[in-house]
Structures are given as structure tokens and as C-alpha cells.
Amino acid sequence: MFSKLFKYDFHYVFRFWWIFAVASVGLSLVGGFLVRALVEMYFANIENFLLELLCILGLFAVVVVLCFFPAAAIIGCLIRYYKNFFSDEGYLTFTLPVSRTTLLNSKIVNYITFSLISLLVLLIDALIIAFIGSAEGTIHFFKELGHSLFYLDWNGQLIAFVILIPIFLIVALVMGVCIYYLSITIGSIISKKHKVLTGIGVYYGINMVLSGIQQIFWVLTMNTFYTGTAETIATFTLYLLFSTILYTMLGVAAYCVNLYCIKNKLNLN
């Protein structure tokens, strides 16, 4: 049943997400040609202030729009969660012969999936801009990067740091979606007319509390682990480790509270 639920959730978001994805690739082509124009003017010693300004402004606009591309996936997943659970559609959703845990898990996996493929599309966009703008420069950059990575001192501390980075990012992603969905759930429970606005308010309230916790955690960990003789990589590895543990605890707490509310606090009469 989980696979069927995930298929429906995925299809709901994908039907408009792909349009934004294709548009982002088109924008990356435009950005690549703008970069190429700037590079050619630089090497040809062409001084045209108006043309350079237009290229820079156009490139800035492309980058800004591309940065907002992942928001399309996030908004789509949040709309799916709200409509499927708390709109009139929710009466039908909760009559399905499937547990509410499975319903919630499907929404979480759907969010994570679109977040990751949106990131992949953004990486492709960046490569398109780089290669169209200057293929030689891009190839040289990756050669130098590979050369630098090859000759790094890959000691245990550095390896642990590199391994922890993707784990930390995934944990932060899961925690984020759990907080998003919890905010929508609480907003829908405590408000009858303005559920979305209430959910937004709850989200910002939760974020304020979490920001305070993160600041306190940062100060405590930095004061504990960092000394004048401590190595920077070791210090930030420990910080990543404890941040991952903290985010895991917060994500689990948000998930459990949300599941409890969905199971026991919803009034669908």
C-alpha cells in the first residue's frame, strides 16, 4: 500500500514540478551564454559598459530564479499534504484501509525525493552554465579540484568530517519536513477558518524556539571543543556529530508529535 500512496503523491507534485525543471534548464542555457559573452568581452578587451551591465543583471536574475526553483517542489509537497489530510479530501483519505503512519511516511518520502531531485537538477543547471560559459575553464577547474583532493592528507579526522556532511544534510532535511508537516497539522487542529495562516504562524514560532536552541548549542559546543591548540577539522567534526544527534532528536520528536495529533486530535466530523 505504501508504494501506491507514494505513486499518487509523487504524481501529484510531478505534474507541475517538471515544468519548473525544464524552465530551469532553459534558464541555465541563457545564463551560460551570458557568462560566455562576459568572458569573450574580457579576453577581447572590449569595453562596453551598457552591454556588460545588461549581461551581469541578466545573469543575476537567472541565478536568483534558479535559487527559487526548489521552492516549487517544497510548495507542491506541502499543498499535497494539506489537501490530502485537512481539506475536504481528508474525509476520504482517512477512510482508506491504510494506517495513518503509512500515510504520513508517504508524504515525508515524497518530500525528500523531490528535494533531492531538485538539487540534482540545480547541479545540472550549474554545470550547463559553467560549460557554456567557459568549457576550458570548467575542465581546468575540475582537474585542479581532483588534483587537490588527491594530494590532501586523508587522515581519520578529515574522512570522518567528509562522511558526516551528507549524513548531517539528510538529517536536517528530514527534520525540516517533519517540522513543516507538524506546523500544518497543528494549524489545522487549532484553527477552523484560517488553517494555512495559522500553520505558517506555528512554523515561525517553532523556528524561533529552534533558533534559540541552536544558538545555545553552538556556544556550548564551540566553548567545549575549541581551544587554541585544537585542530579546526576535529572541532567541526565534533560539532557536526552533535548537531546530527540534536537534529535527529528534534526530527523524531516532531514526527512523533505529528503522528499523535493525526491519530488522536483530528476532528473530521
Convert the pLDDT of each residue in 214-261 to its tens digit. Answer: 777 777 666 665 554 445 777 777 778 888 888 899 899 999 999 888
pLDDT value for 156: 67
**Cα–Cα distance between 12 and 19 in angstroms, integer?**
13
User: Contact at 8 Å (CB) between 13 and 109?
Assistant: no
Give the start-to-end residue ranges of the domains of the chain. Answer: 1-151, 153-269
Q: Which set of grid coordinates corresponds to residue 180?
A: 513543516
Residues 31-81: pLDDT tens digits? 888 888 877 777 767 777 777 788 888 888 888 888 888 888 888 889 888
110 pLDDT more than 90:
yes
pLDDT value for 222: 62
CB-count burial class (<10 Å; 0-12, 13-18, 19+) for 202: buried
Q: Which residues contact 206 (CB under 8 A, 6 or more apart)?
A: 179, 182, 183
Q: Tell me the pLDDT of the chain averaged across its residues.
A: 81
Residues 173-201: pLDDT tens digits? 999 999 999 998 888 888 777 777 888 88
User: Contact at 8 Å (CB) between 238 and 225?
Assistant: yes
Nearest to residue 35, comparing CAs of 133, 134, 124, 130? Answer: 133
